[in-house]
Copies of this chain bind each other. A is one copy, B any other.
Amino acid sequence: MKKLTLKDIAIEAGVSVMTVSRVLNNNKNVHPQTREKIEEILRKRNFVPDPSARVLKGGKTSRIGIVVSDIKNPFYSEMIGTLEDIAGKKQISVVFADTNMRTEGEVEAINSLVKTSVDSVLFAPEGFNTEHIDNLLSIGQHFVILGVHFPDKKYPEVWIDDEAGAYMIGDHFRKKGAEKPLLLMGNPHKNTTINRIKGFKNGFTEMSKEFIEYLPVDWKCCEDYLTNNKNLNSYDCIFCYNDLIAMGAVSALRKKNIIPGKDILVAGFDDISYAELFGLTTVKIPVQDMLETAIDMVVDSKYQKIKFVPNLVIRDSA
């Protein structure tokens, strides 16, 4: 069964391909009667014009790519879901690639999206290496950076002030009278991690006694870590890199009959949907607003650097 083309429709309608093309593109210069006839055939045949041919002719792919570090993390799956909702309304499809939490995976993931031809790539750079980003610029691939800010680079960005967010937690913990913090952080080389630690310290003020542990970003690892940690009573508050880690923390604490919010303060970051399920105090990242802004930048090919400030969401755990 051969692929249906404009030509087939044109022959069947007894017109030229151009007329069919005009109908397909809602060009007004078509006789209403001709249009109706063609539309009828189009419908009957379930005709779908070949996107590749259109793109080749100079059009947009109407495809947008997003790179995430781990789609199993609800923060990212919720983000991608939101992106698809927003993009879908503009008839844009979403392709995604996962770095599987490997910093090196970022380059691969971006390349795979570029190779599949997307109008624009959205991604949150993990490290400080920006060579591959400059590269994107040089081949003319549109992109928008999510989450991270590079003051000296001409990158379009929709970034979030991690430091300010973590500050709120530090400040909240201090005001609640906590004195001995434990920080359960993620990859120590990511700028997100560094900024969150910095912000927390500033907010907490009392900096001498904090203890930082770097864990894989996964609830299981955190749960195991806390379960095997003998002297949990050395701490009166735990700031987790994100909600996923915090979920593991809450679970481990409950199993030891330490009640989060009563015996110890626990906070996360992101405000994923499960944060509510776990009664987790956290920092809400305005994902929807960020993505809407990013899509606008993509659609209008605008160069901008826009900052978003997260806000504190207080629940039972702190």
A-side residues, CB < 8 A to B, are: 1, 3-4, 46, 48, 50-53, 55-56, 61-63, 70-72, 74, 76-78, 80-81, 84-85, 88, 91, 93-98, 100, 112-117, 135, 138-140, 219-220, 223, 247-248, 251, 273-274, 276-277
Q: B52 contacts A56, CB within 8 Å?
A: yes
Q: B52 contacts A135, CB within 8 Å?
A: no
> Which residues of chain B have C-beta atoms less than 8 A from A276's C-beta?
220
Given contacts A56-B52, A71-B81, A72-B81, contact A63 B220 (CB under 8 A): no
Q: B63 contacts A116, CB within 8 Å?
A: yes
Give complex CA distance A285, B18 in Å: 50
8 nearest CB pairs, A to B? A77-B77, A52-B55, A71-B81, A52-B52, A93-B116, A51-B117, A52-B56, A95-B95
Contact residue among B62, B85, B115, B219 (Cβ-Cβ distance under 8 Å from A98): B85
Give complex CA distance A51, B277 in Å: 44
Q: A93 contacts B93, CB within 8 Å?
A: no
Q: B96 contacts A84, CB within 8 Å?
A: yes
Q: Nearest residue in B to A251 (C-beta to C-beta)?
A: B277
Q: B71 contacts A74, CB within 8 Å?
A: no
9 cross-chain CB contacts under 8 A:
A46-B139, A48-B114, A52-B56, A61-B116, A70-B81, A72-B273, A84-B97, A93-B97, A94-B95
